[in-house]
Amino acid sequence: MTDLKNAKQSLNTYSVKELNESIGLLLSRGFAPKFILKATVSKSQIKKGHLWLTLTDGKSSIDGVAWSSTIKSLKFLPKQDDGVVIIGKLNFWESQARISVQVFDIRPSISTVLKKFEIVKSKLFKEGLIHDLLRRKLPKYPRSIGILTSVPSSALADMLRTSRERWPLTKLQIIPIPVQGNNENELKSILSKLKENKLELDALIIARGGGSREDLMLFDSEIIAREIATFPLPVITGIGHEDDLTVADLVSDHRSATPTAAIVDLLPSREIEKNKFLKNKQILKDYLNLFFVNKKAFLSTKKSFFQSHSPRLLIKNKRSKIKHIYDLLNALSPEKLLKRGFALITDESGDSIYSVRNVTEKDKLLIQLCDGKISAEVFSINYDKI
């Protein structure tokens, strides 16, 4: 009793309400009004329009709550075992002396994002929806393309500027879409409608400017990935930065490093095309010049050929050859030889006698001279000594 009397004299005395009010006052004065909390969700449920959470780091836990008015502005609603980063403040219920974290904003942690990425990637890969053979070629000169991105945004402004500079002939159809948060159903609906291609598009660009990897979680959605994988037109993604890779990039027909790069990859460059045109023009000009030079040389050759093979010249050459042959035959004719004193001797049968051994004594011979014939009889034969 003595100790209790002494304590009453030296210590403050509180009722339960007064004690809880004092604790609340200390917390409000001595703790930051807002803070960032990294945790894992061990329990998540929506009750009476509010999101109730149990947050843990594996060693300790604390309750959290996002009021219904806050839920409407949240871009991410966590599930059990999701890693999260929370902006919040402490709530202290004096009637129960209970502390919880009031959530103002909640984002997935990078571990949660990468976990979802790997799960969806693995599933689609096993189904064959992620494969290089499925990627279609981009149109060389697209007449009309659809750009799905946030409107307005710096990414869209850069894309429009680049398209004007690069290839202004292509018609751009701007389709506003949500680019983060729990909006996969809205984005799916937009993609489903575009599959009908009432806009007569040649290709589709899905673009989002830079941000944290956590902000790109919408494009890791299995629902969105399936829509892109089955889209009837070539789909180009330009999401985040060069180092950011989403599931949407894996199932698209072409992945660009940035939104602006997507325009560069899809549209031809008018400067390059102009240089190609001028080069082809010069090649065609050189070809035509060479063609006509060759044709002129060919015609000249044909002219010379026809001149050298004209009927008149052929007849003249034939006449010259005939005259030469005639002169040769005339020079070698027997009549010429007979006029020079030679004679042609034949026997009674008309066979030529070219040797004394072909005749015998008393043979009848016929001697042909240039101006007549002589009948003769062989009286004697004299042989030359050899």
pLDDT in tens, 144-195: 999 999 999 999 999 999 999 999 999 999 999 999 888 899 999 999 999 9
pTM over the 0.85 mark: no
Least confident of 54-58, 60-64, 286-290, 361-365: 361-365
Q: Does 50 have pLDDT greater than 90?
A: yes
Q: What is the pLDDT of residue 67?
A: 93
Give residue-wise pLDDT tens across range 246-261: 999 999 999 999 999 9
Domain positions in the chain: 2-108, 113-268, 343-377
Query: How much of the chain, in percent, has pLDDT values that exceed 70?
Result: 97
C-alpha–C-alpha distance, residues 340 and 334, integer Å: 10
CB burial of residue 229 (10 Å; 0-12, 13-18, 19+):
buried
Helix (H) or strand (E) holding 82: none
Q: What is the pLDDT of residue 314?
A: 82
Least confident of 3-12, 32-41, 159-168, 200-209: 3-12
C-alpha–C-alpha distance, residues 349 and 281, integer Å: 90
225, 162, 175, 239: which is closest to 204 by C-alpha? Answer: 175
Instruction: Name the amino acid, one letter, at 9.
Output: Q
Q: What is the pLDDT of residue 212?
A: 85
Bridge partners of 176, per DSSP, are 149
Query: What separation, in Å, do the N-terminal and C-terminal C-alpha atoms of the chain show?
Result: 187
The CATH class of the 2-108 domain is mainly beta
Helix residue ranges, H only, 220-333? 222-229, 247-251, 259-266, 270-308, 311-332
Q: What is the pLDDT of residue 40?
A: 92
C-alpha–C-alpha distance, residues 24 and 93, integer Å: 8
120 pLDDT tier (thresholds 50, 70, 90): very high
Q: Do residues 134 and 254 lie in contact, with contact meaning Cβ atoms separated by under 8 Å?
A: no
Least confident of 28-32, 134-138, 284-288: 28-32
Q: Among 3.40.50.20, 3.40.50.10860, 3.40.50.2300, 3.30.200.20, what is the CATH number of 113-268? A: 3.40.50.2300
18 pLDDT tier (thresholds 50, 70, 90): confident
